A and B are shown apart, each in its own frame.
Chain A
Amino acid sequence: MTATTSTSRIDASCRLPLFTLFGGAATWLVLSSVFSLVASLKFHAPAMFADQAWLSYGRAYPAWSHLLVYGFCVPAGLGVCLWLLARLGQVELARPLLITFFAKLWHLGVLVGLIAILAGQTTGYEWFELPRYAAVILFIAFVMITVWAFVTYSQRTVEALYPSQWFILAALFWFPWIFSTATLLLQFFPVRGVVQAAVNWWYVGNLLNVWLTLVGLASAFYLLPKLTGRPLHSYYLALFAFLTVILFGTWTGIPNHAALPAWMPALSSAASLLSLIPALAVATIVILTGRGTPVSRNGGPLCFTKLGAWALVLATVLLALSTSPGVARVTDYTWFTHGQTSLRIYGFFGMTMLGAIYHILPHVVGTNRIAAGRMRINFWLFMVGTVIFALPLMAGGIAQGLKLANPDVAFLDAAKAAMMGFRLSTLGELLLLAANLVFLFNIVSAIVSYYRVLCRSAYEEATEQLEPVGVKP
């Protein structure tokens, strides 16, 4: 068997699972943008949908965060992880049909969670709103996919580990632990009072600041060398980034104002500050790996990945700043945190995942079927959308926080200080919706084109056999 055929067989083994994971992720991403717009409109016209409970702010907003994280981030990340495990191990994906089944089960769990949130069955914990029956579905689906991912990994034909594989293994290990802890201690055997808040914040910190970082960096550390044609600079720097991400990131997430024993927020803000170390390592890797290659502005996977890595650096700097006690007095309780988290999710994770999917999908489909022009449109819309979404929210949040800290300023004046930025951010959400629609279109058309080719070749094969019979002299 030659290397090329084995590579194409590996890609083919990933086809069905990735179609399900990426197709579903793109669909949820569009829907999450719709809900984020509905939520934002409440601040432009508060009386809109006032007779519809399911469209009230307190339901549209968690619907957005639920769909973004569980609908888009996790399936997209899982798909990228599976493909990378197969490719880096030079082995076909184990049990692709079972993985496809559990990927569909995951999407079903997301749908159940969405309906529950809109119907008011939310748990009331931020970033973990899905009720227990949905959480159990997600947990089973994730664990089963993880099992076959580990089987694939253990069957690898290339022994040596590439840095991306560390990140993926840790991510696959991380999610079941944090998700089951949150499900058990918040929903099945709820702990008392503020301990719930501690568990919730621990979970959110690990989900957003560790899990997303691990998966995003796994993809970035694979694609940067691949697409620039230069080796990763360097193995030891990547190792350093890996260890510091998991060591420091896992302690982030507890806000300074928390009504918890004071050592907890203090430890958390120290960890956020220390997270600058892996961010610095990532910045160094991006610069040194890409050095000497011409700057690419074609809006392809490399642009997505590079920009995503830089967004991680920026988001980490902002996290370290906004959790330092002096700044937190201003930024806590404001729109700043929303902007900063969104920058991390869209700017870093969304960017790297879109780049990875645009790189992977043509391989899996079999030919290069995603037009560069449509990718470029997606890139620019997504980038500008993220910037206009996140930055004004943060600026507005600072304006709001400065007034909120001064008791002589009336509360409503403080709340309204953020409104200018908030209104701008709605424009960013519109652009993101457009970007996500383009993304969905690109993904779906690539998948459809695969089936069309499949049908055509099957048809031609069938008619070829028929022709000699049909032709009469």
Chain B
Amino acid sequence: MRSSAIVFLAAFIALSASWAGFVLAPQLQLGRAPLEKSLGTETLYPVARPGLAAQGAEVYTALGCVYCHSQQVGQDGVRCDIVLSEPGTNVLATLAALRSVDENLGKPETLANLPKVIKTVATVAAADAIVKPLRETGAKAGVKIVPTGSDISRGWGRRRTVAQDYAYDLPVQLGTRRAGPDLADVGARQPDIEWHLRHLYDPKSEVKDSTMPPYRFLFEERPAGKSDPADVLALPAGAAPAGKEIVKTDAARALAAYLVSLRTTDVPLQEAPFTPPPAPPAAPATNSAAQ
């Protein structure tokens, strides 16, 4: 190459191509795309975080939580469980329809202990092809879409995360390393704010072998009995220094509120569908340890 003009031209072509591809194109495709409704509802998704959680997002960024915690759930694919809930009145027709799917299904045992999963297929189309003739016989059958993959099996989310999930995040904290667990769905696994506060103060008190550093600077040590009990972190006896109590700072409260607000995979979307479990009966939420 003998002329500097050609060098610049080559550099310009190469860089502007990737700029158009990786900066301009996603902006055109995603940057202004209107929000879509979540599946089966009339609500636009997502909704912006409430005030305290929004402040907590800033604390999350300032503390660099992203260097150890990702906020993305992946999935390998989906499987479709065909759930038969009622055999209908014409049992013989139902059995015939079942037999046409699979010889082994066309037996009276299939109709016992309903509702149950009678067959699992790989695609929604295949599932529909089975369910439709069943329904025509008067049986009640449905398809349950279940995402699969190691993240899902770990309980880190119900479905994969997609671009739409992050529409209101600034800065977006996807993360590229999992020195700690993924947090996209941590609010669903662990909805207890006090748990998060205790965990931030001393991770080992909640997760025995935790490798997370304690974030004691988010709390203040004050003489016991001087502060509003609502501000004091409830610790097991002996965990606080003698004669002192541990008081939550605003930053700690905001961060915990943000963590609890992280329920990224709660709702099914067109591009990432799943069948949510039926609404549970009004029972107290369990506080099983998040992991």
Contact = CB atoms under 8 A, between A and B. Distances in A.
20 contacts: A51-B217, A160-B2, A161-B4, A166-B1, A170-B10, A173-B8, A173-B11, A174-B15, A194-B163, A196-B170, A202-B23, A206-B15, A247-B14, A259-B165, A259-B174, A260-B30, A261-B30, A333-B178, A407-B153, A415-B180
Given A52-B217, A173-B8, A416 B31 contact: no
Interface in B1-44: 1-4, 7-8, 10-12, 14-15, 17-19, 21-23, 26-27, 29-32
A202 B61 contact: no
Contacts of B231: none
B63 A195 contact: no
A122 B214 contact: no
Given A186-B171, A415-B211, A416-B211, A334 B178 contact: yes
B72 interface: yes
A28 interface: no
A267 interface: yes
Interface in A38-64: 42-43, 46-48, 50-53, 56-59, 61-62
Interface centre among A53, A201, A239 (most CB of B within 10 A): A53
B66 interface: yes
Interface in A319-367: 332-335, 337-338
A11 to B, nearest CB: 24
Given A61-B67, A335-B177, A124 B15 contact: no
B141 to A, nearest CB: 29
B213 A57 contact: yes
B150 A407 contact: yes
Task: For the complex of A and B, list the 4 residue pairs with the smallest distance between their C-beta atoms, beginning with the closest.
Answer: A58-B64, A407-B153, A120-B62, A124-B171
A251 B22 contact: yes
B45 interface: no
A50 B219 CA distance: 11
A388 B176 CA distance: 23
Contact of A193 (B7, B19, B167, B176): B167
Given A124-B173, A161-B2, 10 more contacts: A58-B66, A58-B68, A165-B4, A190-B171, A192-B31, A193-B168, A195-B31, A206-B15, A338-B177, A404-B178
Interface string B204-215: 000101111111
Contacts of B168: 193
A242 B11 CA distance: 10
A198 B26 contact: yes
Contacts of A110: none
Contact of A121 (B2, B11, B62): B62
Nearest to A173: B11
- Classify chain A's interface size: 35 or more
Interface of A: 42-43, 46-48, 50-53, 56-59, 61-62, 120-126, 153, 160-161, 165-166, 169-170, 173-174, 177-178, 181, 185-186, 190-199, 201-202, 206, 239, 242-243, 246-247, 250-251, 253-255, 257-261, 264, 267, 332-335, 337-338, 404-407, 410-412, 415-416, 419
A185 B170 CA distance: 12
Given A56-B215, A57-B68, A267-B21, A191 B14 contact: no
Nearest to A271: B18
Contacts of B23: 181, 185, 198-199, 202
B211 A250 contact: no
B210 A261 contact: no
B217 A198 contact: no
A255 B176 contact: yes
B154 A411 contact: yes
A124 B10 contact: no
A206 B2 contact: no
